[in-house]
């Protein structure tokens, strides 16, 4: 038997084996719908609807979720995603409507008399000039956005509304058209960078199963849909209520308020699971006071996106980010390193707050250790000098006894403890 005959015989045997393997299938019935699931011989899973007696509304709803929500929703995302997307849809409708009105106003101020449809087309051309300057300036603030994505996301939309507000008001002073249009686009340019830079940290908080790409893709689809709806709403307003300047002065602020409100509600729903100064302070305070560890979903409504730098008494009133030379004298720094040579933080407990400075390569675990020491020490003594060294040692020993359990609980509840996002805070290297 030659080589060709052997190969043909082998292929025939393999094809017979494949034919002999019956596909694995089963039927699942729930909520008036029956589906057949089947694993084909090649390993792919196929789903076929056998019977569907649900009302049309329920079918449309499921089709909408399949198109605009991640696969496996709601089990593939963290808590709060539905609230986030609902207010995000409202935000996009309002922002698109405001954009149409602002563009129409700009064209009127420039001496043109456009139709509402023309305003939507030209809106893409007017995003040049000063807008690029705003983007360049805002790009230098990326580290701060990593630390406080919620705050900067809200700030982005406030800037956007400020920019569109200037554009809407431009017909009132046509002689200042260039200045108002330039400032408006400058603010909108900064808003664009801030919104895009904070998008990934926010989406990452919902990626429960590593499905970040799916979340981003479905989120963009949802944004596109409601942007189109918003443009339609803007055209309707521009053709009816907002044909006059008085109508724009009334409608634009109302749309802006609704826009910012929807963004604030979005941010409240996001369970960010990275450590920054505010979230670390809340976690430590709750652990020291109540003996529990909050989940990202529990902590989200305790965050203050407007005043992230507030000091929390139960966590030791820790302030992070000041330069080392402003926090401790060389003698105090040397004394600290002699007592705690292995630690990557130093503490200086004052009357009003506790300064903590981290080493350049300090992780989230190092920040947590320092925060716990500060919290325990603040209940014993108010200053770190010769008389309080024993109190600091006592607080350190207490931290060492509880830290393994505290860290284990944090990690099991979904917190990322490998890094600490302190924005542009100063660190030191030894």
What percent of the chain is predicted at pLDDT more than 70?
84
Per-residue confidence (pLDDT) for residue 16, from 0 to 100: 47
Per-residue pLDDT at 396? 92
Give the DSSP per-residue string, 347-361: EEE-SS-EEEEEETT
| H helix runs in 21-79, sequence order | 56-68
Q: Look-up: residue for tokens 């407007």?
A: 306
Mean of per-residue pLDDT scores for the chain:
82
| Angstrom distance (rounded) from CA 372 to CA 327 | 19
25-29, 233-237, 266-270, 420-424 — which is least confidently predicted? 25-29
Is the pLDDT at 408 greater than 50? The verdict is: yes
60 within a domain of the structure (yes/no): no
| The pLDDT value given to residue 210 | 82
Domain edge (last residue) among 269, 294, 327: 269
Specify the range with the lowest mean pLDDT, choosing from 39-43, 72-76, 213-217, 266-270: 39-43
For residues 145 and 319, give the distance between their C-alpha atoms in angstroms, rounded to a whole number. 18
Q: How many other C-beta atoms can be found within 10 angstroms of the C-beta atom of residue 368? A: 24
pLDDT category of residue 7 using cuts at 50, 70 and 90 = very low
Please tell me the predicted confidence (pLDDT) of residue 44: 63
Token readout for 17 is 């084996």
H or E segment at 34?
strand 33-39
| Chain segment 154-195, per-residue pLDDT in tens | 999 999 999 999 988 888 887 877 778 788 888 988 998 899
Say if CB 321 and CB 426 are below 8 A apart: yes
Q: Is 62 domain-assigned?
A: no
Task: Evaluate whether 300 touches 268 at the Cβ level (below 8 Å).
Answer: yes
CA separation for the pair 76, 200 (Å, rounded)? 17
- How much is the average pLDDT of 417-428? 87
Query: Model confidence at 323, in pLDDT bands (50, 70, 90)?
Result: confident
CATH number for 245: 1.20.1250.20
Q: Is the pLDDT of residue 350 over 50?
A: yes
Does position 17 have pLDDT exceeding 50, yes or no? no
Residues 218 and 322 reside in one and the same domain:
no
Whether residue 352 contacts residue 317, with contact meaning beta carbons closer than 8 Å, is answered with yes
List of residues 6+ apart from 56 with CB closer than 8 A: none
Same-domain pairing of 343 and 410: yes
Question: What does the pLDDT read at residue 351?
Answer: 81
Q: Is residue 3 part of a domain?
A: no
Is pLDDT at 14 greater than 60 in this prediction? no
Name the pairing type of β-strands 24-30 and 33-39.
Answer: antiparallel
- Looking at residue 31, its pLDDT comes to 65
What distance in Å separates the CA atoms of residue 148 and residue 317, rounded to the nearest whole number? 19
Q: Which structure tokens are listed for 284?
A: 């430590």
pLDDT > 80? residue 225: yes
pLDDT band at 11 (very low <50, low <70, confident <90, very high): low
Q: Are residues 308 and 194 in the same domain?
A: no
Spell out the long-range contacts of 283-291 with Cβ–Cβ below 8 A and sequence spacing 24 or more.
283/368, 283/410, 283/415, 284/314, 284/315, 284/316, 284/368, 284/371, 284/372, 284/375, 285/312, 285/313, 285/314, 285/315, 285/375, 286/314, 287/372, 287/406, 288/314, 288/315, 288/372, 288/375, 288/376, 289/314
DSSP code per residue over 186-221 = HHHHHHHHHHHHHHHHHHHHHBTTS-HHHHHHHHHH
What per-residue confidence (pLDDT) applies to 257?
Answer: 94
Domain around 385: 274-428
Of 150 and 103, more confident? 150
Tell me the percentage of the chain whose pLDDT exceeds 90. 31
Question: Which burial class, exposed, middle or buried, applies to 153 when counting CB atoms under 10 A from its CB (0-12, 13-18, 19+)?
Answer: buried
User: What average pLDDT does this structure show over 230-250?
Assistant: 89
| 317, 353 contact by CB (below 8 A) | yes
Whether residue 254 is found in the same domain as residue 207: yes
Query: In terms of domains, do 368 and 406 share one?
Result: yes
Residues 285 and 265 in one domain: no
Check if the beta carbon of residue 156 is closer than 8 Å to that of residue 202.
no
Q: Rounded to whole angstroms, how far apart are CA atoms 290 and 287?
A: 5
Query: What are the start-end ranges of the H helices in 114-176?
Result: 116-122, 130-138, 142-147, 149-169
| Measured distance CA(157)–CA(137) in Å, rounded | 17
Residue 135 has pLDDT above 80, yes or no: no
- If asked whether residues 195 and 47 sit together in one domain, one would say no
Q: Are 423 and 148 in contact (CB under 8 A)?
A: yes
What pLDDT does residue 244 have?
87
313 part of a folded domain: yes
More confident of the two residues 309 and 12 = 309
Tens digit of each residue's pLDDT (9 = 90 or more) over 39-76 = 776 666 677 777 777 777 777 777 777 778 887 788 88
Residue 88 included in any domain? yes
389 and 410 assigned to the same domain: yes
Per-residue confidence (pLDDT) for residue 429, from 0 to 100: 82
Which pLDDT does position 159 carry in this prediction?
A: 93
Question: Are residues 216 and 132 located together in one domain of the fold?
Answer: yes
Q: 203 near 216, Cβ under 8 Å?
A: yes
* pTM, to two decimals: 0.77
User: Over the stretch 271-300, which tens digit does the pLDDT of each residue have?
Assistant: 999 999 999 999 999 999 998 999 999 999
**Count of C-beta atoms within a 10 Å radius of residue 338:** 8
Instruction: Decide if 68 is inside a domain.
Output: no
Residue found by looking up tokens 């503490």 in the block: 347
**pLDDT at residue number 423:** 84
- At residue 386 the predicted structure's pLDDT band, cuts being 50, 70 and 90, is very low
Is 114 a residue whose pLDDT tops 60? no
Highest mean pLDDT among 16-20, 62-66, 96-100, 102-106: 96-100
Q: Are residues 102 and 221 in the same domain?
A: yes
Q: Is residue 400 part of a domain?
A: yes
Q: Which of 227, 246, 269 is the last residue of a domain?
A: 269
Q: Would residue 254 count as lying in a domain? A: yes
Q: Which residues contact 87 (CB under 8 A, 6 or more apart)?
A: 262, 263, 265, 266, 269
The answer to whether residues 412 and 340 belong to one domain is yes
3-state SS track over 87-114: HHHHHHHHHHHHHHHHHHHHHHHCCCCC
Reduced to 3 states, what is the DSSP secondary structure of residue 12? helix
Q: Same structural domain for residues 155 and 107?
A: yes
Total number of domains constituting the chain: 3
């Amino acid at each position: 038997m030659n080589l060709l005959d052997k190969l043909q015989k082998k292929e025939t045997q393999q094809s017979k084996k494949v034919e002999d393997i019956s596909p694995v299938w089963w039927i699942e019935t729930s909520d008036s719908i029956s589906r057949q699931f089947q694993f084909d011989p090649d390993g792919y899973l196929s789903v076929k609807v056998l019977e569907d007696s649900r009302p049309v509304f329920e079918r449309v709803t499921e089709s909408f979720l399949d198109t605009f929500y991640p696969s496996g929703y709601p089990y593939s995302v963290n808590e709060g995603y539905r609230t986030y997307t609902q207010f995000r849809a409202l935000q996009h409708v309002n922002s698109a409507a405001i954009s149409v009105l602002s563009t129409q106003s700009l064209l009127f101020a420039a001496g043109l008399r456009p139709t509402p449809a023309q305003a939507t087309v030209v809106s893409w051309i007017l995003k040049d000039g000063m807008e690029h300057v705003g983007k360049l300036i805002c790009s230098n603030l990326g580290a701060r956005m990593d630390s406080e994505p919620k705050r900067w996301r809200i700030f982005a939309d406030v800037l956007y509304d400020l920019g569109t507000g200037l554009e809407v008001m431009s017909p009132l002073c046509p002689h200042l058209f260039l200045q108002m249009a330039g400032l408006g686009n400058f603010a909108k340019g900064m808003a664009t960078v801030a919104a895009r830079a904070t998008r990934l940290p926010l989406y990452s908080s919902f990626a429960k199963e590593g499905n970040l790409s799916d979340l981003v893709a479905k989120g963009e689809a949802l944004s596109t849909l409601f942007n189109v709806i918003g443009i339609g709403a803007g055209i309707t307003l521009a053709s009816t209520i907002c044909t006059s300047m008085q109508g724009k002065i009334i409608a634009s602020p109302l749309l802006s308020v609704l826009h910012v409100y929807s963004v604030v509600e979005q941010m409240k729903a996001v369970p960010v699971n990275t450590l920054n100064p505010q979230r670390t302070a809340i976690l430590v305070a709750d652990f020291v006071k109540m003996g529990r560890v909050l989940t990202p979903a529990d902590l989200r409504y305790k965050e203050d996106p407007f005043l992230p730098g507030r000091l929390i008494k139960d966590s030791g009133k820790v302030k992070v980010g000041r330069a080392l030379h402003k926090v401790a004298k060389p003698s105090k720094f040397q004394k600290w390193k002699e007592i705690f040579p292995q630690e990557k933080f130093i503490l200086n407990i004052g009357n009003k707050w506790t300064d903590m400075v981290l080493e350049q390569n300090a992780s989230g675990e190092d920040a947590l250790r320092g925060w716990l020491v500060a919290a325990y020490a603040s209940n014993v003594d108010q200053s770190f000098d010769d008389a309080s060294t024993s109190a600091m040692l006592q607080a350190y020993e207490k931290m060492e006894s509880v830290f393994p359990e505290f860290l284990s609980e944090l990690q099991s509840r979904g917190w990322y403890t490998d890094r600490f996002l302190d924005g542009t805070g100063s660190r030191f290297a030894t």
